[in-house]
């Protein structure tokens, strides 16, 4: 029965919630062993992707995402700032490359961007300059239309990050200023533009295990598949509605990563926000379960991140080497036998 669930998920054209639930409920070591088998088959080199995330425009966001300190609606202590000057961003990107990062991700606290606006034009020029450094370039700027997505692709963006965060059912409990379908529309526009999709979720938003698995079900059935899936462990931020949220159990994090690895075997699974709350042993467990990418550096948007020296020491202990940059990386191709997903609403 257990072996049947494992092979059913690997061989099926459409991953179903009930199969993911059966997988998730396997005994812990059996689940992680299966995930490791899939990981070694698809990622035979013992490598990890090192990414740096820079907030190029912090605070003042009009959205009400209940986990985010950058919302202008909350007294989080995060002040609204202007877009960073291009020269400062380039300095940070060069430093990230010198420290070993192969992907540079730039995040802006905006609802979205539109063509023929000053801030979008400035971002395009920033992307063009960063893309010349020989790193993969990722941006997360909020909602995109088809034209904005194409412009970012043409400027040199490798991947666009736009998380779905949780299940469609739980999403309205987290944010009211946009809908789950709005997230899917942006992802569709990114896919159509030929960019890779970086899309994952956050654990610890008051969701159930079923919510997490419904989120994974949607991610698993993207066509083209996501290039990377960030799994974030909520870092409760003072002043936000989720400031007092209960911490997520480490074993739940590892189980979620294992299910993501099995259901989307070719994606990079990124152990993202929340690593400061994980011991080295817990991080090693997540790497064994299938995580092969981390945000690397001293700050993750508005929250602390393990220092680079700590990260390198841990990777050395585990015998894991940094992955080489791939700035010419092509986006995953769609399966022609299946409909494109997500579909625009």
Sole residue written with tokens 């979720």: 201
Distance CA 19, CA 45 (A): 29
CA–CA distance, 275 with 306 (Å, rounded to integer): 7
Q: Burial letters for 82-118: b for 16+ Cβ neighbours within 10 Å, e otherwise?
A: ebbebeebbebbeebbebbbbbbbbbbbbebbeeeee
Would you state the torsion angle of the CA atoms of residues 334, 158, 320, 201, taken in this order, to the nearest 10 degrees?
A: -70
The residue with tokens 């992955």 is 323
* Closest to 126 (Cα-Cα) out of 159, 100, 87: 87
Token pair, residue 246, equals 């209960």
Q: Could you give the residue numbers annotated as active site?
A: 61, 65, 68, 105, 138, 198, 270
* Diameter over CA atoms, the chain: 58
User: Helix, strand, coil proportions of the chain in percent (round to 5)?
Assistant: 40, 15, 45
| C-beta separation of 230 from 268 below 8 A | no
Sign of the CA dihedral with 115 first, then 160, 201, and 1 last: positive
């Amino acid at each position: 029965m257990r072996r049947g669930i494992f092979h059913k998920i690997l061989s099926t054209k459409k991953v179903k919630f009930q199969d993911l639930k059966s997988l998730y409920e396997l005994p812990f070591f059996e689940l992680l062993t299966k995930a490791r088998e899939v990981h070694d088959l698809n990622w035979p080199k013992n490598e990890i992707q090192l990414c740096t995330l820079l907030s190029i425009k912090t605070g003042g966001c009009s959205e009400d995402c209940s986990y985010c300190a950058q919302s202008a609606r909350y007294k989080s202590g995060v002040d609204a700032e202007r877009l960073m000057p291009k020269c400062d961003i380039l300095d940070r990107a060069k430093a990230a490359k010198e420290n070993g990062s192969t992907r540079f991700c730039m995040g802006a606290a905006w609802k979205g961007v539109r063509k023929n606006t000053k801030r979008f034009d400035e971002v395009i020029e920033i992307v063009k300059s960063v893309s010349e450094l020989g790193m993969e370039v990722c941006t997360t700027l909020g909602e995109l239309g088809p034209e904005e997505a194409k412009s970012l692709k043409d400027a040199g963006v490798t991947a666009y990050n736009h998380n779905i965060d949780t299940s469609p059912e739980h999403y309205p409990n987290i944010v009211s200023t946009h809908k789950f379908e709005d997230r899917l529309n942006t992802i569709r526009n990114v896919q159509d533009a030929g960019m890779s999709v970086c899309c994952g979720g956050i654990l610890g938003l008051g969701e159930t295990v079923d919510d997490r698995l419904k989120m994974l079900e949607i991610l698993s059935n993207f066509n083209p598949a996501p290039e990377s899936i960030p799994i974030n462990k909520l870092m409760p931020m003072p002043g936000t509605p989720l400031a007092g949220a209960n911490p997520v159990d480490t074993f739940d994090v590892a189980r979620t990563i294992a299910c993501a690895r099995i259901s989307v075997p070719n994606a990079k699974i990124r152990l993202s926000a929340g690593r400061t709350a994980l011991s080295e042993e817990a991080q090693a467990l997540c790497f064994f379960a299938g995580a092969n990418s981390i945000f690397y550096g001293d700050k993750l948007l508005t929250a602390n991140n393990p220092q680079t020296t700590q990260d390198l020491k841990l990777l050395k202990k585990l015998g894991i080497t940094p992955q080489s940059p791939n700035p010419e990386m092509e986006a995953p191709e769609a399966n022609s036998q299946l409909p494109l997903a997500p579909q625009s609403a």
